[in-house]
């Protein structure tokens, strides 16, 4: 379950109102909630007396920050060189199409988050996909479809995401 609340007063008390507090504030909010919601961006901008766009600039510059909550299952499709050569991009495109999300996005019901990664450290098993940090090597579209179905089936009423046919 995604937590929605953050205590901006307590955060400011811990980190202060200096411009240099911006990243520590955002890091703590993300650590608490799993992402940095719009309300937090507004509150941080107000408390530090800076424009919201400045907060967005920091959030989008650093890959560590997320603007949307993570899903129950995180799917990482490797697009490193070895995986790319072995068809990783086709797998990524398939998962993206089936779930209806792009890299870094989460399905509307919060079941799946799709991520693209540069290397999962097991290039000999390319192409590689990890779901919830469990690595699956030598993937094909039909194997990935099966993985998605299995994970969706474990979530009652959430199977509607993986109903498209593999190509
Ligand atoms: S390039 Fe995919 S695991 Fe290394």
Model pLDDT, residue 4: 55
Determine the Cα–Cα distance for residues 68 and 164; give it in Å rounded to an integer: 25
Q: How far is the CA of 122 from the centre of ligand 1 (A)?
A: 6
What percentage of residues in the chain have a pLDDT greater than 70?
Answer: 90
| 132 CA from centroid of ligand 1 (Å) | 17
Residue 3 reports pLDDT greater than 60: no
Closest residue CA from atom 1 of ligand 1: 80
pTM of the model: 0.68
pLDDT digits (tens, 9 = 90+) for 63-79: 789 888 888 899 999 99
Q: Which helix (H) or strand (E) holds 44?
A: helix 38-48
Rg (CA), the chain: 18
Side-chain-side CA neighbours of 24 within 13 Å: the count stands at: 12
Phi-psi region of 68 (alpha: psi -120 to 50; beta: other; left: phi over 0): beta
* CATH 3.40.30.10 domain span(s) along the chain: 73-162
Are the C-beta atoms of residues 112 and 161 closer than 8 Å to each other?
A: yes
Ligand 1 center–CA 32 separation, angstroms: 31
Q: Which of 123, 130, 135 to mutate to test the pocket of ligand 1 (most atoms within 8 A of CB)?
A: 123
Q: What percent of the chain has pLDDT over 90?
A: 72
Name the strands in the sheet holding 73-78, side by side, starting at the edge strand that comes first in the sequence: 112-117, 73-78, 129-131, 134-136
- Give domain 73-162's CATH number out of 3.30.365.10, 3.30.1600.10, 3.40.30.10, 3.40.50.10490: 3.40.30.10
Query: Does residue 156 or residue 97 have the better pLDDT?
Result: 97
Q: How high does pLDDT run on average in the chain? A: 89
Whether residue 91 is predicted with pLDDT greater than 50 in this model: the reply is yes
- The Å distance, Cα 154 to ligand 1 centre, comes to 28
């Amino acid at each position: 379950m995604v937590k929605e609340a953050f205590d901006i007063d307590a955060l400011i008390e811990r980190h202060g109102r200096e411009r240099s507090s911006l990243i520590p504030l955002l890091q703590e909010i993300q650590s608490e909630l799993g992402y940095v919601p719009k309300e937090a961006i507004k509150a941080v901008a107000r408390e530090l007396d800076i424009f919201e766009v400045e907060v967005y600039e920091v959030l989008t510059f650093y890959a560590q920050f997320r603007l949307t909550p993570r899903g129950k299952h995180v799917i990482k499709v490797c697009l490193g060189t070895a995986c790319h050569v072995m068809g990783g991009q086709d797998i990524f495109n398939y998962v993206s199409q089936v779930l209806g999300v792009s890299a870094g996005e989460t399905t509307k019901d919060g079941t799946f988050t799709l991520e693209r990664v540069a290397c999962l450290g097991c290039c000999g098993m390319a192409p590689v996909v990890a779901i919830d940090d469990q690595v699956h090597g030598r993937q094909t579209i039909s194997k990935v479809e099966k993985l998605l179905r299995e994970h969706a089936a474990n979530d009652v009423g959430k199977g509607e995401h993986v109903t498209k046919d593999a190509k």
